[in-house]
Amino acid sequence: MSLDVAAACDDHAGMISQPYQLYIERTDPAKNMARYYTMEIGPTMFGEACLTRRWGRIGKRGQEKQHVFEREEEAVRLFLDLVKQKRARGYRPRATLRYFQS
């Protein structure tokens, strides 16, 4: 392809259609367990879909792994599979406490 030729451009190419983000925790004080797991899907510099996973002990940096896909659907499929696996292992959204002053 020549740089002189105008190429047809799809406005949605390389864009993530909707945000996919997740933060879940698994805690068990009896086992001294306090783990987190987070995932998000975003675009790479080249317009590919990238699923980024981070996990570790709550309060620590932990580990990170990235999966790059040509199609967003592939990233979403892995995202949903991992959510199912983590829920089966006991991970849940973080319980938030709200304090109201009167």
Q: What angle do CA 15, 18, 19 make, to 5 degrees?
A: 100
Note the pLDDT of residue 23. 96
Please answer whether residues 25 and 36 qualify as being in contact, where contact means their C-beta atoms are separated by less than 8 angstroms.
yes
Note the pLDDT of residue 99. 54
Please answer whether residues 20 and 40 qualify as being in contact, where contact means their C-beta atoms are separated by less than 8 angstroms.
yes
- In tens, the pLDDT along 12-68 reads 455 667 789 999 999 999 999 999 999 999 999 999 999 999 999 999 999 999 999
Q: Residue 44 is encoded by which pair of tokens? A: 């790479």
- Which letter does DSSP use for residue 31 in this model? G
pTM: 0.75
Please answer whether residues 66 and 49 qualify as being in contact, where contact means their C-beta atoms are separated by less than 8 angstroms.
no
